[in-house]
Amino acid sequence: NSSLPDVADGGPIFTEKLKNWTEKNEKRIILSQIVSMYLEMLENTDKTKGHVRRISEELFTLKNSLPDGLKKLKDLMDLTKLPMNDLKIQRKAVNELFSVLQTLVETQTSAKKKRRQVQRRCKC
């Protein structure tokens, strides 16, 4: 029952997290995780109730339209576990440095191009 007084304890769960994710693609990743959590929560509810079934169906449809945030989350967690004091890891990282920097520059250039295109269209 979401009207019980303890619901307000500790503040929001999901909406507060969404504030930290500002870019559209970032937001889609976190939303993917949140939708999955709602589906997990509704998994053991009474699906004979029409509104519960409709919400579950809608969330499932939304989940399919979002990127696989779990895979991306796993990638991030794997990165945090890399032993950066390991010499082999360091050599591999240095070997990939140019490629990583090139990808970063391409990403930034692409964002600048999009901004310029939006500015050119506006004849204010």
In a domain, 123, yes or no: no
- CA distance linking residue 20 with residue 79, whole number of Å: 20
Answer yes or no: is 108 within a domain. yes
Write out the two tokens for 53.
């079934």
What is the model's pLDDT at position 32? 87
Residue 118 lies in a domain: no
User: What is the per-residue pLDDT for 70?
Assistant: 79
- Say how far apart CA 76 and CA 70 lie, in whole Å: 10
User: Mean pLDDT over residues 46-67, rounded?
Assistant: 86
Return the higher-pLDDT residue of 5 and 56.
Answer: 56
Q: What's the structural domain count of the chain?
A: 1
Which residues span the domain enclosing 99?
A: 5-113
pLDDT for 82-120, tens place per residue?
Answer: 999 999 999 999 999 999 999 999 887 766 665 566 556
Query: 75 in a domain, yes or no?
Result: yes
120 in any annotated domain: no
Tokens of 101: 């920097």
